[in-house]
Amino acid sequence: MGINLWGIVYGTQVGYQIMKEQGFGHIINTSSAAGLGPSPISAAYSTTKHAVVGLTTSLHYEAEEFGIKVSTLCPTFVDTPIFDKATAINIDKSTMSKQMKKQKMISPQQLAKIAIAGVHKNKPIICPMPMRKTMDVVFTIFPSLHRALMRMVCKVSRKARLT
């Protein structure tokens, strides 16, 4: 909660006040695709990310009258060394590394380009992963299929839980 939520809240408060006084600016808060829908096996993480999406999308509309733009960046897997230091239960590090490499990752540079394009379009939510849109459709139109997929994710994730 400390960094994932309160870091965003405090940073937004400070930036928002400065931008309000100057009459312009653009706040970009980083959340995660986990903030846009269910994220099995990581309820605490998902809770903080949902809160960031809620705060930021609310401010997107609220801040408009002050000349301030606000966007939420919601990536999934970005190719950084974050998982190199992660530990897992019931799975060795090399297996975990192989599983993570199977994920469709984008580079930090690609993410930055997508974020900048989203800022130029003043998007309230910038989500660079096409799979996210597919999951939104499945979640909305085929809820029972979505539940089945989430159960499968739970089952697989429990065997290789990241800590």
| CB 40 within 8 Å of CB 157 | yes
Q: What angle do CA 121, 73, 124 make, to 5 degrees?
A: 45
CA dist 83 and 80 (Å) reads 8
Determine how β-strand 125-126 pairs with β-strand 68-73: parallel
The amino acid that residue 91 corresponds to is I
CA dist 152 and 146 (Å) reads 10
Question: Which residue in the list 10, 16, 45, 61 is annotated as catalytic?
Answer: 45
First to last CA, the chain: 16
Active-site residue flag, 16: no
> Which residues have a catalytic role annotated?
45
